[in-house]
Chain A
Amino acid sequence: MSACVRALAATAALLSVSVARAQQERPPASKYRKDALVYAELGKAPQKARSKRNPLERDPEAVAAGRNLFEQHCTECHGDLAEGGRKGPSLLVEPVQNSEPGAIFWILTNGVVWRGMPVWSKLPEPQRWQLVSYIKSLGVAEQVPSLGPVPKPSSGSATAPPSLRR
């Protein structure tokens, strides 16, 4: 009986933590700032990773397969159309679309763990490249609001933090 009571207490504690975390409201400005910090991570990709070519760029099925993978693993955070969601930034912006495929692949592999994006190396390499093919096929469809200074990437102007105006 005491075990049941302890089990219920532990469950209640777990639920409390979930609820407490869920109550943390995030105003839009801080959301944009967080997104900008995530975009800045693209610039931290090492040159070696950045210079990798997508081995599936000529694969006619890569985009369709990548779309399936995106729907399975990415839409929860990045939105159904990659337009961004409460948890993840839009992928339809210049900082992403102008990045080298290797930089996007690097982010998929390493995640942005301290900012909420898990590592996706559990997807085999070809599947990560299929995702890159799909993401790059989307093109730029949004602009990012200016938020003032954000941390500069270590290198690479193509992946610099957003300087666009809405």
Chain B
Amino acid sequence: MSTSAVRSSLLFFLALLLFVSLPGSSPAQENPYIVAYDHYLEEPGNLEIEYFSTFGTQRASNDFHAFWMEFEYGATAWWTTEFYLDGQSTFGDSTVFTGFRFENRFRVLKREHFINPILYVEYENTSGADKILKEVEGHDVEADYADRNAALRQEHNHELEFKLLLSGTHKGWNFTENTIATKNLSGDPWEFGYAIGASRPLALKASAKRCSFCRQNFIAGAELYGGLGDRHSFGLNDTSHYFAPVVAWNLPSDWTLRLSAGFGLNDNSHRFLLRWGVSREITGFGSMVRNLFGGQR
């Protein structure tokens, strides 16, 4: 096993250890999407800690394992704030920290509607070695990731990313569409992308007994995502597109597991992206902080 693979595995187990040691959480009802967002925000005062991995095949270079941690906090019922830490291991190369992201999502409408808009604003400070593929935008293609990490890290991206999330849930089905617009603060043109998702729980009624393998604990669906070029050359060409069946397993024992198998839809795309994630919600994190600092009990 290479040194980078060992370091990658160590990070993975450290993340797992962190999850296991967390107290006081509650079962969540999480969607299965890994790229797309629906209109549901984190419950106020709750902190969700998530770990995700992406194994990607790479033509003309080595395959990679990219990973990221997410800390998602429900500031209010209409505002969720989130912080990401990204890294990756390229097999036969190295393991590197590739940057951070800070995102905010705002619910626009007071009540539930057929389509519910959410505004998304993110600041991204990453290197060119970032391979988590959390979204595809502009003219992102597989060949961009073929260089060695040492070379890729020379590129620094300071980006502002905006998304309009349009999502609705009907008869148990969630449908979501995300439109992405990204501006690299170094002066590159606006880049665009999209993500579309649909999902549904395998059963709509809850069972009277708590169970791990009940059908209502599984939510299955699919997502489609890709780039839309930039301001000068808008469209579906010269960029990459993916289709990915997704599934989430919401366990009564506080955990949510997600799995996604993504398939590249054109020659510019990675042929295969296997993603998985584990998350845990800490209920009442805000209250815990309040108590820590001597607030009202």
A158 at the interface (CB under 8 A from B): no
Judge if B58 is at the interface, Cβ distance under 8 Å: no
Is the CB–CB distance between A3 and B99 below 8 Å?
Answer: yes
What chain B residues lie within 8 Å of A116 (beta carbons)?
Answer: 44, 76-77
Q: How far is the CA of A112 from the CA of B110 in the complex (A)?
A: 8
For B208, what are the chain A residues with a Cβ–Cβ distance below 8 Å? 61, 64-65, 68
Given A69-B206, A124-B204, A127-B206: A113 touches B26 (CB 8 Å cut-off):
no
A25 with B206: CB separation less than 8 A: no
A-side contacts of B57, CB under 8 Å: none
User: A42 to B73, alpha carbons, bound, how many Å?
Assistant: 28
Q: How many A-B residue pairs have CB under 8 A?
A: 133
Q: From known contacts A87-B45, A122-B31, A127-B204, infer whether A22 and B100 are also in contact, taking CB-CB under 8 Å.
A: no
- Per-residue CB contact flags for chain A residues 59-86 toward chain B (1 = under 8 Å, else 0) read 0010011101100110110000000001
| Contact B29–A22 (Cβ < 8 Å) | no
Question: Given A11-B83, A76-B26, A121–B205 Cβ distance below 8 Å?
Answer: no
Beyond A23-B295, A65-B206, is A7–B169 a contact (Cβ under 8 Å)?
Answer: no
Q: How far is the CB of A38 from chain B (nearest CB, A)?
A: 12
Question: Which applies to chain A's interface (DSSP): helix, strand, loop or mixed?
Answer: helix
B295 touches A22 (CB 8 A): yes
Q: Which of the listed residues A15, A21, A118 has the most CB atoms from chain B within 10 Å of its own CB? A: A118
Contacts of B97 in A (CB 8 A): 3-4
Q: Mark B76-88, 1 if CB is under 8 A from A, else 0.
A: 1110010101000
CA distance A22 to B289 in the complex (A): 7
Contact B172 A109 (CB under 8 A): no
Bound Cα distance A23, B43 (Å): 19
Q: Inside 8 A of A10's CB, which chain B residues have their CB?
A: 83, 100, 102
B210 within 8 A of A: yes
Contact B172 A125 (CB under 8 A): yes
Write out the residue numbers on chain B whose beta carbons fall within 8 Å of the beta carbon of A4.
97
A145 at interface by CB-CB < 8 Å = no
Contacts A3-B125, A7-B100 known; A127 to B290 CB distance under 8 Å?
A: no
B206 & A130 in contact (Cβ 8 Å cutoff): yes
Q: Does B61 contact A (CB under 8 A)?
A: no
Q: Give the residues from 114 to 130 in chain A that come closer than 8 angstroms, CB to CB, to chain B.
A: 114-119, 121-127, 130
Report B23-62 CB contacts with A as 1/0, cut-off 8 Å: 0001101010000001011011110000000000000000
On chain B, the number of residues with a Cβ less than 8 Å from chain A's Cβ atoms is 55
Instruction: Give, as a whole number of angstroms, the nearest-CB distance from A163 to chain B.
Output: 26
Task: Tell whether, in the assembled complex, residue A21 and residue B75 are in contact, meaning their CB atoms are under 8 Å apart.
Answer: yes
B283 within 8 Å of A (CB atoms): yes
Q: Taking A3-B97, A25-B296, A121-B112 as contacts, is the C-beta distance between A130 and B77 under 8 angstroms?
A: no
A124–B76 touching, CB < 8 Å? no
| B99 / chain A contacts, CB cutoff of 8 Å | 3
Check if B216 is an interface residue, CB within 8 A of chain A: yes
Annotate A6-19 by CB proximity to B: 1 below 8 A, 0 otherwise: 11001100110111
Give the 6 A-B residue pairs with the shortest CB-CB distance, closest first. Answer: A22-B290, A64-B208, A124-B204, A61-B208, A126-B205, A110-B111
State the A residues within 8 Å of B (CB): 3-4, 6-7, 10-11, 14-15, 17-19, 21-23, 25-26, 56, 61, 64-66, 68-69, 72-73, 75-76, 86-87, 109-119, 121-127, 130
Binding site for A on B (CB under 8 A): 26-27, 29, 31, 38, 40-41, 43-46, 71, 73-78, 81, 83, 85, 97, 99-100, 102, 107, 110-112, 125, 127, 169, 171-172, 174, 201, 204-210, 216, 252, 283-287, 289-290, 293, 295-296
